[in-house]
Structure 1
Amino acid sequence: MKIKGNLTDEANRLSSWVGKDCCTWKGVGCSSKTGHVVKLDLHNPIFGGNKLGGQVSPSLLDLNHLHYLDLSGNNIQISNSLGSLKSLRYLDLSWSIFDATIPHNLGNLSRLQYLNLSNNGLSSPIPVTLGRLTSLTVLDLSRNNFNDSMLYSLCNLSSLVHIDLSVNSLGGAIPHCLGNLASLSILRLSQNDLQGPIPSEMGNMTQLTELDLSWNVFEGEIPNSMRNLCNLCVLDLSYNMRLSGGLPNHLGEFKNLERLIIQGNSFYGPLPSSLGTLSYLRVLDTGNNQLNGSIPISLGQLSKLEYLDLSKNAFVGTVFELHFAKLKSLNELYLHSNSLVLNVTSQWVPPFQLQVIGLSSIKVGPQFPQWLKTQKSVTALHMSNASISVVIPNWFESIYCGIIDLDLSNNQIKGKVPIFQKCKYRSLQLSSNRFEGPLTPLPSDVYLLDLSNNLLSGPITVSDDSATMSFTFLGLSNNHLTGVIPLSLCKAKSIQFIDISNNQLSGKIPPCLGQLELLSVLDLTNNSLYGEIPSSLGSLKFLNSLHLRYNKFYGKLPLSLQNLTGLSTIDLGENVFTDNIPPWIGYNLTGLKFLNLQSNNFYGDIPPQLCHLQNLQLLNLAQNNITGNIPHCFGDFTAMFSNFTAMVVLDHAYILNPSGNFVFDKSYEENILDSMKGRELKYTKTLKFLVSMDLSNNGIVGEIPEELMDLSGLLNLNLSGNHLKGRIPNNIGNLTQLESLDLSRNKLSGPIPPSLSSLSYLGHLNMSFNNLSGRIPTGNQLQTLDDPSIYIGNDGLCGAPLNSCFDDKSSHSNHKHADQSRVADETDFLWFYTGIGPGFLVGFLGVCGTLNFKKSWRYAYFQFIENNYNWISVTIAIKFAQLKRKFNKGKLGR
């Protein structure tokens, strides 16, 4: 009763503790011979609820005949005097909350056989006194934070039969002395940081039935001594990454083996055919290794096999019916990502009923597999990139509703999209096929729908306008969809990703999209949408990525967008926005990595507040009406330093399905278009490495700030088409990662700094049409950039690839003066006629401007002029120079 008085019992679990006969109370056990209390079981029967609180009364120590104590799953403060209960044989304090130290006097419990301290987050060292527990048979310290030093204290506990130290912080190597535990039956060391080879002494543990070394950093081959572990039922070596070598053939000698899991390592060579003799095997998982050769037909004899994963290896050859001959228990099959061909007859009836089928990235087609219609229990079917090129057969609808995870993407499937019958929450990935015709009305019961990269047309409609939609992901990009964004999409309250880019949608953005509170990605790129950005989008507090590029949006950026503090990407390029660049972008959107405002009508000075964007990797303000200087503080963009470790980019979609589980999906890849090396490129998988600044084709004045040369991680720097003057900074060689540099069409003067030749990655350079002079630097990568057009329009430049610089020696003085006279004469003539070409083009543009070209034509035309400007200029200049020489020689009439 004193024990009860010290505890809080809000759930009234101790209500039976009344009267004088404590042996009848719930949780109390007495000896039938002596009447002494020998058992106290107060464990929490409901996980997470009904917890007892308070602390253990000192009166507990009066129960000196206590054999069994279970206080697990409560919030009871544990006494440090538990070591005084010297009769204890069973102690369970798991899932409890108490001081992060283990009482040192636990070592006094010389009769203790069972000790469970799991799931407590303990980080203190294991007391060395635990080495005195010579009667201990079961030790469970899993899911704590113990370090590696404690393993040595277990080496002398020869009575141990069961050790679970999984999910801790154990590091270093497994001590060789652990092999002394010859009675050990279960050893679980998974999810630690154990390293080095697997000790050969582990072969001494001949009584082992379960060995789990998964999720560590072990390396090397499986020691040959492990062939002695003939009693093994479970062997799990998965996800060590560095375990390598061939799989030993003696694995077939483990006749009791039920689970063999080696996924996520570097094993190579063939799969031993002896595995087909393991008649008790239920799980065979060899996925994500480097295994090769053909799949042994002997695996078809494993009649108890329930789970087979051979995925992500280098297996080759054909899989026949014989590979599945007796697999009557199989319910999960993963063969994906191998060089395999599944070749079974259309009449084949498999012996199994599969629930999960993984056949992606192997050859299944061109026909849709007929044997699937015999499978009545399928919940997940993945046949992406399986060479299927026919129409989905009608019979597929009979199993369609049962599939909650369907992936037929990256095939050449033809015909209409299947009718979306209302079934259950499910994921449908049908992207990158040849589905055509009108888009089937969107189902309200699907949480992930990806129909991108098809030939679908018509408007976006839903199957039931009144229903609440279950979408978390909607991908309809790269089709021929028309019409407006439907208002019914606003009913998808759980949606996180909307990608309807590269279609022919028109109209405005529905303001109600601002009600989609969980929205993370909104990609409307390359449509014909227009109007102003609704201020309601400022309510999307989880928005990470906003893409509105290639539309007809206009007006100012709504002030409410400053509330989107989680934004990583803003791409508003190729629209008609007319506004100052808002300073709040720098003040509020401090997580921005990619900012693209290219080809709009932004005007005024660049706000220095942008310098607060320490994570910015891409800044594109090209082709606007921006004036003023380049802020000196642009040198503060930390993410543009070469020693900066790029933060994780949102390049994949983490989808939360209705069951509350995260599904990793590659349907949406973050992307940015950026002009580099003279052409526009799309960055997806390499986006995290893109570091670029493009301020070209504006009205920017002043000098190039020296501070820009601190951005040593820049891959692309484009300042062309402005009014920049002064010298190129001498330390431009500090931009060591630079691959593309364009300073053309400015008013820069002075020499080209010699340090330019130290840029060993430079593959694109344009210095044309400035006032540069002196000798062009030589050496290293510059020697490969031998196109003279990259320097044209700079009267004072000489050296390769232009004309050689003239020698100052007196012996060549007369020749020098004659050449100078000729060069001056031809230079004047060259520049006169060089101007004729662009003048003609400008006049031509003036006439064509009245014709109101279609927008796509204008883009194509101006892109052609931009990409070929230097070539056109050089061609015209050379042609007229040739004509002048003929005229001077009398070969050409006036």
Structure 2
Amino acid sequence: MKIKGNLTDEANRLSSWVGKDCCTWKGVGCSNKTGHVVKLDLQNPNFKMNKLRGQISPSLLDLNHLHYLDLSWNDIQISNSLGSLKSLRYLDLSCSFLTATIPHHLGNLSRLQYLNLSNNDLRGPIPDTLGRLTSLTVLDLSRNNFNDSMLYSVCNLSSLVHIDLSDTRHTGAIPHCLGNLASLSILRLNSNYLQGPIPSEMGHLTQLTELDLSYNAFEGKIPNSMRNLCNLRVLDLSNNKFTGKLSTSVGSPFGCIHNSLEDLSLFSNKLSGGLPNHLGEFKNLVRLIIGWNSFYGPLPSSLGRLSYLRVLDTGDNQLNGSIPVSLGQLSKLEYLDLSHNSFVGTVFELHFAKLNSLYELYLHSNSLVLNVTSQWVPPFQLQVIQLASIKVGPQFPQWLKTQKNVTELDMSNASISVLIPDWFESIYCSIIHLNLSNNQIKGKVPIFQKCKYRYSAYDKWLLLSSNRFEGPLTPLPSHVYFLDLSNNSLSGPITVSDDTAMMSLTFLVLSNNHLTGVIPVSLCSAKQISLIDFSNNQLSGKIPPCLGQLDQLSVLDLTNNSLYGEIPSSLGSLQFLNSLHLRNNKFYGKLPLSLHNLTDLFTIDLGENVFTDNIPPWIGYNLTNLQFLNLQSNHFYGDIPPQLCHLQNLQLLNLAQNNISGNIPRCFGNFTAMVALDSEYIFNPTDNYFVGGTYYGENILDSMKGRELEYTKTLKFLISMDLSNNGIVGEIPEELMDLSGLLNLNLSGNHLKGRIPNNIGNLTQLESLDLSQNKLSGPIPPSLSSLSYLGHLNMSFNNLSGRIPTGNQLQTLDDPSIYIGNDDGLCGAPLNSCLDDKSSDGDHKHVDESKVADETDFLWFYTGIGPGFLVGFLGVCGTLNFKESWRHAYFQFIENNYNWISVTIAIKFAQLRRKFNKGKFGR
């Protein structure tokens, strides 16, 4: 009664606790011999509701004959003196909101056989005192937060039959001593941070029936000793890093594991090799899950002998060859996944002959042809049909008529090129996810009847993109959650269903069609809408201000239309907006101040419009998550606000073709995301929109390497700054050279002066550099030659001078036009040779800087000795043979033309040396 008095019992669960005979009360058990209370079972049967709350009374400790105590699924604070209940054999405190550590005094319960502390918030380490519970047979500490590397505390509990330490944040390796627990039948260590190999001693656990090591970081090979676990029914090693071949471990023909195993899961490891034909000997196998590995070769036909098999998953491997017809004999098979392999050949009716239990079929992403007759009636009723990227067409498969329970149908990229048949509407109502995209389906978009759904309308997907649908767009259905009709030939206005009150539309993609008219105001009734993509159409009119009421909107893409007007200030209410694309329209005016509220924006693309405004400083102050900013080809004017330097996540800055003046802010060196290409990519929420097997991604046009490129899946690698064709003055800031991750730097068409920074070679990832049409002067820094990835360079129309650097990637950029217009101040390849490179015969040779230096030394050497040699030689000859008058005339000629003669002789010697070094002379 004291226990009851301390508890809050809102559901009146202890209503029977009245009178003097406590042995008749619900949850109380007494010994038939002594009458002592030996059992107290207050487990909450309702789990989430009707919890008992409060502090357990210390009088509990007076029940010193108590054998059984269950307080699970309640909110009861437990006394720290439970260790005084010396007779306790069964203790269940699971789901009891326990925190802190496991009480050390539990080690005093020497008779305890069952201990369950699972589903709490207990934290580590596991106390050594638990090692004293030598009578313990069941230990369940799962789903806690021990964060402990010590599993040794359980090694001394030789009576253990069941250990569950799953999802406890344990780290480290499996101790070898676990192999000594000879009585162990169930061992669950899944969902932790364990690593290292499986100890071979685990093969000593001959009583083991279930071993779950999934979702850890184990590595190495699966020990051969595992094949000797003759009682093992469940083996789950999925989501680890195991390597090696299956044929040498659990798939080996040796050992006895194949006689007992019922469930084998090796999903998502690094296993390789062929699948052993011996898998057909696992006669009791019910589940075989080996997807997401690197297995190759054919699928063993012996799998057709696994008469109990219900689940077969070999997806995402490198298996090849044809699919064995023997699989059609698996009459109990419910789930078949052969997707994402390299299977070839034809799939016939025989492959499904006896699959009358099948309800999920995944054949997608193989080189298969589904060839069944139009009269074929399958033996199954499928719920999931995944046939994407295999040849199903050109006809719409007739056998689908027989399928009444389909909830997911994917026949995208399946070579279908006919109209959707009328009969398909009868099975459409049951389909939750329908994907027919990337085919050649003709005709008009079908008007599907309203359905009475067994499932929530919020799950309905209708993906018909990249087909040949034409004609007017049918009214947008109110019952569809995700609608994608992009990349078709639809025309006419966008209309919305009359039933807007029930509108569940959340993702709407109509891009790349021929739609005309205005954005319908009725679309504002779709209060749940998160993504609107109307890009690449012919829409006109203004943005309806009521779009600002769509407070769940994350993406608004209106690129490449004929929309006009000012941006409604109401868009500043879209607090979850991540991505705003208005590129290539006719929008004008200023950017509304209300946009400063859009602090979640990752992308702003307003390029190719008629905006006339200063670049607002609040972009830098408020939109600190911004990664992509494109204001290209507008009428923005004034200085670049230094507040933009707060955008540390910025990867793309495009202000080209505006009327911007002033200097480039030195603080642009603060763009952290531009510092290193391999730096951590800032996660973009719009990456996570899953659309029919792919992610909806941002798309940005940016000029690089002299041409405009579209970036979609590669957008995270786009790191670019384009300030070209403005009125920017001053010098190129040295700080820009700190942006070592830049792929593109375009400062052309401005009024920049001064020298190119000497450390431009720090831009190690640079692929495109355009500094043309400025007033830059001085030499081109030699460090430019260290840019290994440079594929596009333009230095033309400046006042540059000196020798053009050579070597490395610059050797491939041999178009003279990239240096023209520098008033003959530049020399060297690919322009005219510099003066000291010219030969006497007028040839201009291209040499690198080291050779130039060598030959300069060579030239001065012979400039010194050449005339001396000639004078000495001719002097001796003249003394012996010449008349005195001739000698005087000769030496007068030498004196008057000394310099010319010296240089000419030296050049000749240099030419001879080059020819010799190039092997142009024989011996």
Same fold, judged at TM 0.5 (above) = yes
> For residues 21 and 807 of structure 1, what CA distance do their matches in structure 2 show?
117
Of 529, 536, 551, 1:517 maps to 551
Contact 1:227 1:250 in 2 (8 A): no
Please give the alpha-carbon distance, in whole angstroms, between the structure 2 residues aligned to 1:368 and 1:66. Answer: 70
**Distance change >3 Å, CA 41–CA 368, structure 1 → 2:** same
Amino acid at match of 2:239: Y
Q: CA deviation at 1:66?
A: 1.8
> For residues 573 and 446 of structure 2, what CA distance do their matches in structure 1 show?
36
Quick one: distance in 1 between partners of 2:303 and 2:158? 33
Instruction: Name which of 662, 672, 684 aligns with 1:649.
Output: 684
1:77 touches 1:99 (CA, 8 Å); kept in 2?
no
In 2: Cα distance, 1:329 partner to 1:67 partner = 47
Tell me which residue corresponds to 1:872: none
Tell me the distance in 2 between the aligned counterparts of 1:334 and 1:284: 10
- Give the aligned residue type for 1:601: H
Q: Which residue of 2 aligns with 1:852?
A: none
Q: Shift in Å at residue 80 of structure 1?
A: 2.3
Shift of 1:744: 0.5
Cα distance, 1:121–1:703 mapped onto 2, change above 3 Å: same
Aligned-partner Cα distance in 2 for 1:145–1:290: 38
After TM superposition, give the deviation of residue 471 of structure 1 in Å.
1.0
Question: Is 2:625 the partner of 1:591?
Answer: yes
Corresponding residue for 1:287?
315
**SS of 1:807 mapped into structure 2:** helix
Matched, 1:313 2:341: yes
Between structure 1 and structure 2, the one with the greater Rg is 2
**What's the CA shift for 1:462?**
1.7
Correspondences of 1:802-821 after superposition (within 5 Å): 802-807=831-836
Deviation at 1:25, TM superposition (A): 2.4
* Aligned residue pair count: 808
Q: Does 1:529 align with 2:563?
A: yes
**Pairwise CA distance, 1:504:** 0.7
Paired AA for residue 439 in structure 2: N
Partner Cα separation in structure 2 for residue 306 and residue 808 of structure 1: 80
Structure 1 counterpart of 2:26: 26
Which residue number corresponds to residue 821 of structure 2?
793
Matches within 5 A, 1:232-381: 232-240=232-240, 241-246=268-273, 247-381=275-409
CA shift digits 1:470-509 (9 cap, x unpaired): 0111111111111111111111111111111111111111
Secondary structure of the residue aligned to 1:749 is strand
- Against the structure 1 CA distance between its residues 358 and 466, is the aligned structure 2 distance closer, same or farther, given a 3 Å change threshold? closer
What letter is aligned with 1:217?
A
Take 1:90 and 1:46, find their aligned partners in 2: how far apart are those partners? 21
Tell me the distance in 2 between the aligned counterparts of 1:251 and 1:478. Answer: 50
Unaligned runs of 5+ in 2: 241-267, 845-923
Could you list the per-position Cα deviations for residues 498-533 of structure 1 after superposition, in whole angstroms to 9, with x for gaps in the alignment?
111111111111111111111111111111111110
Partner residue of 1:141?
A: 141
Question: Aligned-pair distance for 1:718?
Answer: 0.3
Matched with 2:440 is 412
Distance in 1 (CA, whole Å) between partners of 2:380 and 2:639 is: 70
Partner of 1:702: 730
Cα 1:664–1:808, aligned 2, differ >3 Å: closer, same or farther? closer
Which shifted more, 286-295 or 306-315? 286-295
Is the Cα–Cα contact under 8 Å of residues 113 and 138 in structure 1 kept in the other structure? yes
**What residue number does 2:791 align with?**
763
Farther off after superposition, 694-703 or 364-373: 364-373
Q: Distance in 1 between matches of 2:48 and 2:502?
A: 33
Distance 1:139 1:347, change over 3 A: farther
Are residues 1:489 and 2:523 paired? yes
Return the alpha-carbon distance in structure 1 between the equivalents of residues 585 and 281 of structure 2.
Answer: 66
Residues 217, 242 of structure 1: 8 Å contact kept: no
Pair 1:384 & 2:377 matched: no
Report how far residue 31 of structure 1 moved: 2.8
CA distance in 1, matches of 2:331, 2:745: 64
1:380-412 alpha-carbon deviations (Å, 9 max, x no partner): 111222222222222111110000111111222
Asked if 1 retains the 8 angstrom alpha-carbon contact of 2:765 and 2:787, the reply is yes
Cα distance in 2 for residues equivalent to 1:427 and 1:340: 26
Whole-Å separation in 2 of the counterparts to 1:154 and 1:248: 37
1:197 to partner: Cα distance: 3.5
CA spacing shift, 1:134–1:114, aligned 2, 3 Å: same
Q: Secondary structure at the match of 2:599?
A: coil
Letter in 2 for 1:805: C
Deviation at 1:147, TM superposition (A): 4.1
Give 2:496's match in structure 1, choosing from 437, 449, 462: 462
Give distance in 1, aligned partners of 2:842 and 2:23: 124
Q: Give yes or no for contact 2:125–2:148 (8 Å, CA) kept in 1.
A: no
- Percent of pairs with identical residues: 85
Give 1:645-794 correspondences, 5 Å limit: 645-654=680-689, 666=694, 668-794=696-822
Q: Please list, as runs of the form range in 1=range in 2, the aligned pairs for 1:593-672 lying within 5 A after superposition.
A: 593-642=627-676, 644-654=679-689, 666=694, 668-672=696-700
Deviation per residue, 1:656-706 (Å, 9 max, x gap): xxxxxxx98635211111100001111111111111000000111111111
Residue in structure 1 matched with residue 47 of structure 2 by the alignment: 47
Give, in whole Å, the separation in 1 of the partners of 2:309 and 2:208: 17
Counterparts in 2 of 1:229 and 1:55: CA distance versus 1, 3 Å: same
Instruction: Give me the whole-angstrom Cα distance separating, in 2, the residues matched to 1:481 and 1:395.
Output: 29
Q: Is 1:540–2:568 an aligned residue pair?
A: no
- Secondary structure of 1:243's counterpart equals coil
Counterparts of 2:222 and 2:302 in 1: how far apart (Å)?
17
1:738–1:814 distance in 2 versus 1, CA, 3 Å? closer
Q: Is the CA contact (8 Å cut-off) linking 1:258 and 1:282 kept in structure 2?
A: yes
Paired amino acid for 2:352: F
- How many Å separate the matches in 1 of 2:137 and 2:831? 86
Q: Deviations over 1:286-345 (max 9, x none)?
A: 222333333333322222221222222333333222222221111111122223222222
Secondary structure at the residue paired with 1:700? strand
Deviations 1:67-123 (A, max 9, x none): 222222222222222222232222221122123211122223233232222221322
The code of the aligned residue for 1:323 comes to H
- Which residue number corresponds to residue 168 of structure 2? 168
| Cα distance, 1:633–1:699 mapped onto 2, change above 3 Å | same
Q: Which residue of the partner structure matches residue 854 of structure 2? A: none
Partner AA of 2:34 in structure 1: T
- Residues 31 and 254 of structure 1, relative CA distance in 2, 3 Å threshold: farther
Structure 1's 233 and 352: CA in aligned 2 closer, same or farther, altered over 3 A? farther
CA distance in 2, matches of 1:380, 1:315: 23
* Structure-1 separation of matches of 2:567 and 2:807: 51
8 Å contact kept, 2:620–2:646 = yes
Whether the 8 Å contact between 2:610 and 2:635 is mirrored in structure 1 is: yes
RMSD: 2.3
What is the CA deviation profile of residues 45-79 of structure 1, one whole-angstrom value per residue up to 9, with x for unaligned ones? 33333332222222111112222222222222222
Contact 2:435 2:692 in 1 (8 A): no
Distance 1:784 1:607 in 2: 38
1:814 Cα deviation (Å)? 12
**Greater Cα shift, 468-477 or 102-111:** 102-111
CA contact (8 A) 1:252 1:278 kept: yes
CA distance in 1, matches of 2:66, 2:662: 85
Question: Residues 172-183 of structure 1 correspond to what in structure 2 (within 5 A)?
Answer: 172-183=172-183
Q: Deviations over 1:173-197 (max 9, x none)?
A: 3333333344433332222223333
Q: Is the 8 A contact 1:237 1:261 kept in 2?
A: no
Q: Would the alpha carbon gap of residues 318 and 138 (structure 1) be closer, same or farther in structure 2, given more than 3 Å must change?
A: farther
